[in-house]
Structure 1
């Protein structure tokens, strides 16, 4: 049974609406990692077939890590196309987190292998691409394509942070994934920022030495 609330709208309502308007390949786009103090922001774009049905799929923030890992290969195997875009902490510092998120979304769409002709974007900010698109507040709870993108982005980012935990021991990245937990804040104060920290973010910039 789907975790989507009982519908005023079908979880594929926005995709089918776009199809009725003549668009063939509708991609849901979402990101993971806007808020953390360390690591990349990761965006994903997913085109689902019109017959797609995956019980349990919802906004990745509402799912356990175990459920996301279970859904990840199922989404990838059933999707028409999946694209992923990663923007590093250093790039986030250069251009700010909003612009980094939008850049990641552009990269995800460009790396799909199948060119979408319509985008469903989680949030309120359009993606700077010459494609018809619709922004959806809480889109990851309203559109299956966006929900699928949110799971892909979250799983990819979590795996990256587990890898960084091995490269930069002592910060606890495998546990908090870069978010500003008490343990993480204590580690930054004790060890100083590592190369994966976002130096323009509060909680990190106070511990950056030099200009």
Structure 2
């Protein structure tokens, strides 16, 4: 193919308008004597490689769901939680049942996504899902049960709240749920299952919104920035103000600050 009469801008337009350009065009660009054309070809090739890698990653996210559908389970819920590590606020879980091969470009573990991508997917998942629900465990329940049991409780609540009842549950992490349903616990499931990844996004974004509301009530702690996690800023605020009512007082750093504050008041 003779592309010598085509300008670089024209070739750029041809590539942008065609997701699968003719191979003869690409071959001609790769050997063109113009450096700009060869660079354009290399950029397009890199983009195609990235797109193919992303397509392969997304396809792998559905392998777990496909595995259990092949065993006769039609409605598979993925379950995940957010908020095990913070010093304040509830733990939030979500359960999601996706249709087979749902189209959710960019889907991934919520921890690997920037805020903008999480919020975009948060909006996209809900109308696509066959059913979704959120469950929570309060600060009081976390302190009473411990964070692991409170997380499992929140996950059970999310499954119980689904309007469409699942046939099978994929659970993120090594622990099973106290539910009368067939299930499989999948370590790092939010990177291995589309439905768990979707649940991780709903749980994370929901919890972040809750912490933003708490920031309005307790602005001195900076919950809008760290969402309750033990950052330097948060620890400094605890040193200055002591714990507030949404702090997990059984967590060691909070317990230490609580004890120091109590000792200071008793001395006074």
Shorter-chain TM band: over 0.9
Aligned partner of 2:9 in structure 1 is none
Is the CA contact 2:62–2:101 (under 8 Å) kept in the aligned structure 1? no
Dislocated runs of 4+, deviation >4 Å: 1-7
Q: Which runs of 5+ in 2 are unaligned?
A: 1-50, 264-268
1:113 aligns with 2:113: no
Q: Deviations over 1:151-171 (max 9, x none)?
A: 000000000000000011200
Query: Is the 8 Å Cα contact of residues 77 and 195 (structure 2) preserved in structure 1?
Result: yes
User: With structure 1 as the length reference, what TM-score do the two structures score?
Assistant: 0.95
Encode CA deviations 1:83-105: one digit per residue, 9 max, x unaligned. Answer: 10011111100110010000000
Determine helix, strand or coil for the equivalent of 1:208: helix
CA pair 204-53 structure 1, distance change in 2 beyond 3 A: same
Aligned length: 211
Could you tell me how far apart the structure 1 residues matched to 2:144 and 2:54 are?
A: 38
How big is the alpha-carbon RMSD for the aligned residues of Structure 1 and Structure 2?
Answer: 1.9
Structure 1, residues 28-55: CA drift from partner, whole Å, max 9, x if none?
A: 0000000000001000000000030211
Structure 2 residue aligned with 1:73: 123
Match of 1:89 in 2: 139
**For residues 124 and 107 of structure 1, what CA distance do their matches in structure 2 show?**
18
Q: Which residue of structure 2 aligns with residue 172 of structure 1? A: 222
2:234 matches 1:184: yes
Residue 188 of structure 2 corresponds to 138
More RCO (CA 8 Å, sep 6+):
1
Distance of 2:99 and 2:167 partners within structure 1? 14
Unmatched 5+ stretches in structure 1:
none
What TM-score, normalized to structure 2? Answer: 0.75
